[in-house]
Amino acid sequence: MASQPSLLTLAERQVTETLERRRGDIVDLAATLVGFDTTASRTGADGGEVPALQALLAARMQSAGFEVELFVPEPDDLPASRMLAAGHDMTGRPQLIARRPGTGDGRSLLLNGHVDVVEVGRREAWSSDPFRARLSAGRLYGRGACDMKGGVAAMVLAAEVLAELGVPLRGDLSLNTVTDEESTGAGSLACVARGLHADGCLIPEPTSGQVWLGSRGVLLPTVEVDGRAGHTGLARGDELDGPGVGAIERILPILEAMRGLREQWWAQRGPGETPGWIVPTHISAGEWIVTFPDSCSVQLHVTYGIGQADADGWGTAVEREVEARVRAAALADPWLAAHPPRVHWSTDVPSGTISADEPIVRTALGAAASLEHHTGITSQTTWIDAITFSRSGTPAIGFGPGDLANAHTVDESIDVSELVRAAQALAVCAMRFCGVAGERSPRPRSERTEGVAQPAGLLAAP
């Protein structure tokens, strides 16, 4: 075995060496988690396979000596928020909070991860069953392997090994697995509402081992336009004067307007800024193959940068900008001017960031440096639950295994060696952030953030 980096304490070396020996256990747990179909769109009384997965993790954490709470939030348990529709239903989707008390005089650390995954799409496009993990050439394949069941496996093994070795953490260590991250963020919001908090939080999302300080916000509007039903066999040269008007073609000016708006955002961005983007993700129209569709709706995924958010981090200003661009496009089109499009707004998950000087950031950077990982602070774009915790007073960062480019893809996968490195980094972070009774963890110069530039796109909102 290669010698461990000298910047680790004896206790840290013991933990990291144990996790290296437990490589197979980390992979086995990740593969087991992939085997549960926890697709985010699944709702209803049975909750798909979320209850079984959460029960498995609860049993493991309880066996490791953690205090375990497993609960299904009721609609009244959720706070009023732009993130959620009124009466948001989480039936069948339990949330897990596990806690190992410290000796009482250290900082508390939260490890959070989501267990829901996105739809697999066309199964025939996959090389193998997306819910039966496959190990090939050092990579683990399956839906959620990268985003983020691999990260969850890494944090569970890190917590288990710390407990099994009897590492006397001075601060409390909590582990939290949630649902709904891929849709509304309701899982972590419910846990915060239940009182979950800590002095710092690590979320092993697929950050390629880098530190994400925050993220852009997300709006999910639907734009609807009217057509006029009629027999397509009677179509003639001037459709607007014919028996029918196809709503699909009438929505094209709106899509072009959204393309122009997103390009404008990027053309006008400041140095290092990460503005928003607009992606049409779902379109619905048509009733019959020989009938002009009399309506068409398109769902948009609208991200917005921190600099585009309002003073509270929400996307109200972006909503107004999108609506104004839709109105302008409609006025320039004869049919839409007479039949104005309608914009329906659903949820808004806020943007946010934390300072690079936060102790949790310095701890993550220092642990990675001691493990000789190539880690820095990077700007990122996708929304993660870190925003919910940071806004509630628990500074949180993304810091985990896997490349985001592999998330949500056909044949999603993750490098097994990254899972081991992530588990080691998370364990060392826990020891340094919470503190170890009777031992002073090293704080090498590399842990300090003097001279570490915070991306301009992640500056705190005013």
* Active-site amino acid positions: 116, 181
CA distances from 397 to 176, 215, 304 (A): 14, 10, 19
Reply yes or no: is the peptide bond before residue 148 cis, omega within 30 of 0. Answer: yes
| Phi, psi at 281, each rounded to 5° | -115, -15
CA distances from 313 to 60, 160, 271 (A): 37, 36, 21
Integer Cα distance of 237 and 42 in angstroms: 46
SS3 content of the chain, % helix, strand, coil (to 5): 35, 20, 45
Whether the Cβ atoms of residue 370 and residue 362 lie closer than 8 Å to each other = no
Which of 138, 151, 217, 144 is closest to 390 using CA atoms? 217
Q: Is 248 helix (H, G, I), strand (E, B) or coil?
A: helix
Integer Cα distance of 158 and 19 in angstroms: 7
Contacts of 64 (CB under 8 A, 6+ apart): 100, 159, 160, 163, 164
